[in-house]
Structure 1
């Protein structure tokens, strides 16, 4: 644009000059070698301009001829460089698409056309091609070679960090992330990775310092910084609670203030307050958390806040807490558990059945099995509830990046992301499911209407004797396995079962309630066996110190 403007100005000045000369006629007399030449002023000016233009054109022509070899070399060099960058670009696209063979071919072309020592992208493409071809040792060596060049040092650290993450070498990945964060604190992946590694290894103070640096550098926004700081403080307070509850209290309270919706922060804050006798403030924290997201551990801590409370007092506290969010299933389950501990079986059953009617879930059926065992000892009904629990929707659990954990953690074990765990129903893995409807199964005869003619039948009783204990954790796998028994032979006539609760007059599916009917005593030498399906790993399997209803709960501590 400037050149065009300059050319326009020169032409305008020449035009103005010639017009001025045309308005002022005159002659130019030139005496040279005894000869006198007389021309008009306009002709003389035109001749001068022509001579100047001729000299400039001649100078440009001579200069072009002299500089032509250099220009020719530069042209071919630029063309070669363009071809090299085109090969490099094609190779990077092929590596990104997973075509290792084409990427390797483009590397060879790029190395011929470009200087590999001066072009770092060739080293990167070479390392990526080695990873695509499965030569991880070569890729790691190439990334390590990048550490010697200040220009590619950060790139090599990132490659080594990703390779260590892929191989599960957590210590190595932590080292590379921290080195990259020290080299370039403004790089987000390095700072985030180093922060996640510190949290995963329990370096709470180091994580808090690094988080403050990220906040000062404005790498993360204020809201995210608050959430991550609350998660780290919660984890630190949880670790200190068992040994130093007094030091854990300010950390837990600060975490709860930073993130009121973080359930573990509210729970550990309430625990520290209850430990020091501050019942009112601790209860208020749990109540505020319950209004946002009810959690079974929050209910358990709230109900058992006072050590000297009786079971009836704990039931009253459970009802008070449930009244803050009466429509949530956890409210009904909290009342049912407290009523079961207090021996109020009718209240416990009504609360649990209300949850089953509105929003059935695995934990509600397991709790009904506990109630049935404690109230009636009817093993048939107990197994019926257990079989329904197998097919019921799963209870919420702590989930992060597809990983389901029984306990909350401040960072994801998969990606190292801070505050990644969420309290939600885990995503079920899709797979073939064989579900037999209740209408297709044989039913249990009415206990009270069983014919007396069956009393003399020579077979085992249908119902096993009730167990004396309410919760038998060591028998839970067997109970679930019995619910999965597959019978291949026709059932024989069964005798009258033992008398149970007369309220149990409903027709219930045999396969979902009872084990296979016992056969007559086999003949001597018979090798017939009953095929039992593998024990499922969902409901019913619980530690010895827990009941069925608490075996699937996601414990925080």
Structure 2
């Protein structure tokens, strides 16, 4: 646009000048070699302009002819470079999409068109293609080669860090991260990895100093920095609680102030206060975090706040804590545990059953097994509760990056990320624990403890019309029988009208018996209802000795 505007300005000035000369006639006299030349002023000006234009045109032609070889080389070199960068761009896109074949082909084209020593992206693409092709050693060697060039050293460290993480070499990945942090302290991934390394080794002061540097350089926002600092202070207070209670008190209280909803910070702050006799302040801290989200460790710490309390005093404290967040499963569990310890078995059972009605979980069934053993000593009922606990949903636990821990930690053991642990259910099981449509009491009444068979599978009822095995006691078919046709222990009596030869069935008859068995009926037929010799299936509850009576009426068994 500026060139066009400049052209119009020049034309305007020339036109203005020629118009000015045309309005003022005159002659130009030139004496040269004894000759006198006389021309008009307009002709002289036009001649001067033409001479200047001719000189400029001649100079441009000469310059173009002289510089044409260089210009031609530069044109082909730029074209080659553009094709090389186009191949490099296509290769990077293919590598990002996981197309190793296209990426490898583009590498070959880029190496022909570009200088490998001057273009580090070719090395990066080559390493990525090697990773896609499964050649981890070649990829690692290419990243290590990048360490020799100051321009690509950080890139090589990043590649080695990611490769070490992919292979699960945590020590190697943290080593590369620390080296990258020394080279470029402002790089977030390197600083975070170095912070995780210090946290893993218990260097709390070094981790806190590094966190302050990150906060000063604005690598992390203010709120995240506060929560990360609270996690580090909590871990430091936990580690120094036994050796230096007074020092741990200030650290724990500061951590609790920075993150009031952080459960481990509240627990360690309450513990140091309880140890020094400040029961009221420690209880207020636990009550505050309990109102946000009840936690079993909070309940345990709150109930056992004061040494020397009786079991009834602890039950009273559990009731008070549960009243702050009623109708929550953790509140009911806190009362149930305290009531069991105090011998209030009825209250403990009611609280545990309340958990099963609202949110069934493994710990509630295990607690009911303990209550059953203490109250009745019925091992059959205890086994029933334990079998239900196996199939119940798991309790929440401290989980970080798929790793489940019994205790909280300030950083993930997998990635080293701070505040990665969350209190949640690690694995959700499918299916209800109790049949839908049955409440808790009806489920208990419908599923009494029954003798069980050691077999894993229970076969359908054998109709009265089919030949059956005569027995006065349980008869089991061993697993080595041909086809393993009859797996369950059955009891049957033959009608008196049967002939002896019909009752004497050889082992080869089992296949024929299985071939005529109808599918499992949803409801017994009328003839089956009248027949008193139906075989009773055995529920699957391994570990209980089977004991049956031949005259036992037929019914459908349900485990749960």
Shorter chain as normaliser: what TM range?
0.7 to 0.9
* Alignment partner of 1:489 is 2:488: yes
The match for 1:69 is 69
Q: How does 1:535-550 map to 2 (within 5 A)?
A: none
Question: Residue by residue, what CA displacement relative to the aligned partner does 1:101-133 show, whole Å, maximum 9, x if unpaired?
Answer: 332222222222211111111121222222222
Whole-angstrom CA distance in 1 between matches of 2:320 and 2:351: 14
Question: Residue by residue, what CA displacement relative to the aligned partner does 1:34-93 show, whole Å, maximum 9, x if unpaired?
Answer: 554443322222222122111111111110011000001111111111121122222222
The match for 1:104 is 104
Whole-angstrom CA distance in 2 between matches of 1:446 and 1:26: 135
* Alignment partner of 1:151 is 2:127: no
Whole-angstrom CA distance in 2 between matches of 1:381 and 1:491: 24
Whole-angstrom CA distance in 2 between matches of 1:216 and 1:379: 63
Whole-angstrom CA distance in 1 between matches of 2:183 and 2:363: 50
Whole-angstrom CA distance in 1 between matches of 2:232 and 2:102: 46
Structure 1's 492 and 29: CA in aligned 2 closer, same or farther, altered over 3 A? same
SS in 1 for 2:219: coil
Asked if structure 2 preserves the Cα contact closer than 8 Å seen for 1:381 and 1:513, the reply is no
The match for 1:518 is 546
The match for 1:554 is none
Asked if structure 1 preserves the Cα contact closer than 8 Å seen for 2:365 and 2:389, the reply is yes
Asked if structure 2 preserves the Cα contact closer than 8 Å seen for 1:335 and 1:351, the reply is yes
Asked if structure 2 preserves the Cα contact closer than 8 Å seen for 1:228 and 1:418, the reply is yes
The match for 2:12 is 12
The match for 2:142 is 142
Computing the radius of gyration over CA atoms, which structure comes out larger, 1 or 2? 2
Question: Residue by residue, what CA displacement relative to the aligned partner does 1:472-508 show, whole Å, maximum 9, x if unpaired?
Answer: xxxxxxxxxxxxxxx9324449xxxxxxxxxxxxxxx
Question: Residue by residue, what CA displacement relative to the aligned partner does 1:199-240 show, whole Å, maximum 9, x if unpaired?
Answer: 122222211111111011111111101111111111121122
SS in 2 for 1:323: helix
Deviates more, 1:166-175 or 1:293-302: 166-175
The match for 1:358 is 358
Asked if structure 1 preserves the Cα contact closer than 8 Å seen for 2:391 and 2:433, the reply is no
Q: C-alpha displacement at 1:252, in angstroms?
A: 1.4
Q: How does 1:53-92 map to 2 (within 5 A)?
A: 53-92=53-92
Asked if structure 2 preserves the Cα contact closer than 8 Å seen for 1:318 and 1:334, the reply is yes
Asked if structure 1 preserves the Cα contact closer than 8 Å seen for 2:260 and 2:289, the reply is yes
SS in 2 for 1:110: helix
SS in 1 for 2:399: strand
Asked if structure 2 preserves the Cα contact closer than 8 Å seen for 1:491 and 1:517, the reply is no
Question: Residue by residue, what CA displacement relative to the aligned partner does 1:151-202 show, whole Å, maximum 9, x if unpaired?
Answer: 1111111112112222222222222111111111111111111111221222
The match for 1:274 is 274
Whole-angstrom CA distance in 1 between matches of 2:425 and 2:15: 86
The match for 1:320 is 320
The match for 1:414 is 414
Asked if structure 2 preserves the Cα contact closer than 8 Å seen for 1:322 and 1:331, the reply is yes
Whole-angstrom CA distance in 1 between matches of 2:263 and 2:104: 52
Whole-angstrom CA distance in 2 between matches of 1:445 and 1:345: 21
Q: How does 1:106-125 map to 2 (within 5 A)?
A: 106-125=106-125
Q: How does 1:342-491 map to 2 (within 5 A)?
A: 342-428=342-428, 444=448, 488-491=487-490
Instruction: List gaps (5 residues or longer) in structure 2.
Output: 452-470, 475-485, 493-536, 549-560
SS in 1 for 2:324: coil
The match for 2:461 is none
The match for 2:329 is 329
Whole-angstrom CA distance in 2 between matches of 1:65 and 1:282: 92
The match for 1:283 is 283
Q: C-alpha displacement at 1:426, in angstroms?
A: 2.0
Asked if structure 2 preserves the Cα contact closer than 8 Å seen for 1:110 and 1:122, the reply is yes
Instruction: Say which structure, 1 or 2, has more relative contact order (CA 8 Å, 6+ apart).
Output: 1
The match for 1:220 is 220
Structure 1's 20 and 74: CA in aligned 2 closer, same or farther, altered over 3 A? same
Structure 1's 48 and 154: CA in aligned 2 closer, same or farther, altered over 3 A? same
TM-score by length of 1: 0.78
Structure 1's 343 and 244: CA in aligned 2 closer, same or farther, altered over 3 A? same
Instruction: List gaps (5 residues or longer) in structure 1.
Output: 448-456, 461-486, 494-508, 521-557
The match for 2:126 is 126
SS in 1 for 2:138: helix
Q: C-alpha displacement at 1:310, in angstroms?
A: 0.5
Q: C-alpha displacement at 1:403, in angstroms?
A: 2.1
Q: How does 1:245-284 map to 2 (within 5 A)?
A: 245-284=245-284
Structure 1's 327 and 255: CA in aligned 2 closer, same or farther, altered over 3 A? same
Give the length in aligned residue pairs: 468
The match for 2:301 is 301
Whole-angstrom CA distance in 2 between matches of 1:137 and 1:84: 27
Q: Please provide the CA RMSD for this pair.
A: 2.9
Asked if structure 2 preserves the Cα contact closer than 8 Å seen for 1:256 and 1:265, the reply is yes
Structure 1's 209 and 514: CA in aligned 2 closer, same or farther, altered over 3 A? same
Whole-angstrom CA distance in 2 between matches of 1:52 and 1:435: 104
* Alignment partner of 1:30 is 2:30: yes
